[in-house]
Each structure stands twice: as structure tokens, then as C-alpha cells.
């Protein structure tokens, strides 16, 4: 699955888990699988439901003597908690910044690039960040007018 935008992917509709490259260590593989299984049983996002499921898996790993795996799962959750809550604004800022840096970029090419930053396919990104096209057009309008200014992501 070389084309995956992330290391692993849970397809909730088909109930399949895909792995881009098999991690070399058993704990790394187990962590990746548990990460994706947590998506399968909770949420496609890394929000509270997913985090709770990962923490539960980490507690179980620790209880049965897999302390390295438990630590890896805990670190995954901690890493997700460090991501700002205003991720929508960050995604829209990235779209705006890319348009200003690459004024001739086409919308679909930009979305492909930005989606990969979020470990998503372009289609998923457009569903999750519904205002992408509007922000893109707004940024293009500012560039065409020779202006650089802030925008309203709301």
C-alpha cells in the first residue's frame, strides 16, 4: 500500500487495516495496529474517543507485561493532545500560505499536498475541511489583487 498518505490506515467501511511499510520492531507493529484498531472501534479522528481507546489498550499492555508497547501507546496519545484544538484554522492557514507561496498552484494540487500533511487522502481532507475551496479562492483573490491580508476562516 505504497500510496497511503500515512503509515497505516483503517478503512472503517470495509473493516480492513492497511499498512504502508511494516515496522521492523514487533512493538512498533503492534502500536501501529492498535492505533488503527482504535480508529476502527472508536472514531476516524484522534479525538477523545480514540484517545480513550488507546489509553485502555496501553493499560492492558502494561498489565500483561508489555511495558515498551504501553509507553509507545501513551506517547501517541500525548502527541495527539499536543495538537492545537484549532486544527481547522491551521489547515486553512496552510492553504492560504501555500497560495501566497505558490500563486499559480491549482486547487486539486494544493489539496493533495495539504492533505498529505494531515495523513489524509484529498477526498477525506475536503470532507473534513469543508471551507478549503472558499479559503483557496479567497487567497487567490488577495494574490490577484496584489494584496496580502488576513482572512476569515469562520
Query: Which among 38, 42, 2 has a CA at the least distance from the CA of 22?
Result: 2
| Domain coordinates in residue numbering, the chain | 8-82, 87-144
pTM to 2 decimals? 0.62
From first to last of the 154 residues of the chain, give the pLDDT tens digit: 556 667 888 887 788 898 888 999 999 999 999 999 998 888 877 878 888 999 999 999 999 999 999 999 999 998 887 766 667 788 888 898 888 888 899 999 999 988 887 778 899 899 989 999 999 998 888 777 655 445 555 5
**Could you give the residue ranges of the DSSP H alpha helices within the chain?**
26-41, 48-63, 67-82, 87-101, 107-117, 122-128, 132-144
Residue 120 is placed in which grid cell? Answer: 489524509
Alpha-carbon span 69 to 60, nearest angstrom: 10
Amino acid at each position: 500500500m505504497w500510496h497511503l498518505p500515512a503509515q497505516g490506515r483503517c478503512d472503517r467501511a470495509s473493516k480492513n487495516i492497511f499498512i504502508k511499510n511494516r515496522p521492523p520492531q514487533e512493538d512498533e507493529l503492534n502500536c501501529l495496529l492498535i492505533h488503527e484498531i482504535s480508529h476502527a472501534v472508536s472514531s476516524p479522528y484522534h479525538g477523545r474517543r480514540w484517545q480513550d481507546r488507546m489509553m485502555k489498550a496501553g493499560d492492558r499492555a502494561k498489565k500483561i507485561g508489555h511495558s515498551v508497547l504501553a509507553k509507545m501507546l501513551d506517547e501517541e496519545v500525548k502527541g495527539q493532545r499536543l495538537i492545537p484544538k484549532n486544527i481547522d484554522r491551521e489547515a486553512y492557514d496552510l492553504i492560504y500560505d501555500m497560495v501566497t507561496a505558490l500563486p499559480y498552484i491549482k486547487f486539486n494540487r494544493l489539496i493533495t499536498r495539504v492533505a498529505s500533511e494531515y495523513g489524509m487522502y484529498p477526498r477525506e481532507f475536503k470532507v473534513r475541511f469543508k471551507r478549503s475551496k472558499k479559503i483557496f479562492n479567497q487567497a487567490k483573490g488577495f494574490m490577484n489583487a496584489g494584496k496580502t491580508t488576513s482572512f476569515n476562516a469562520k
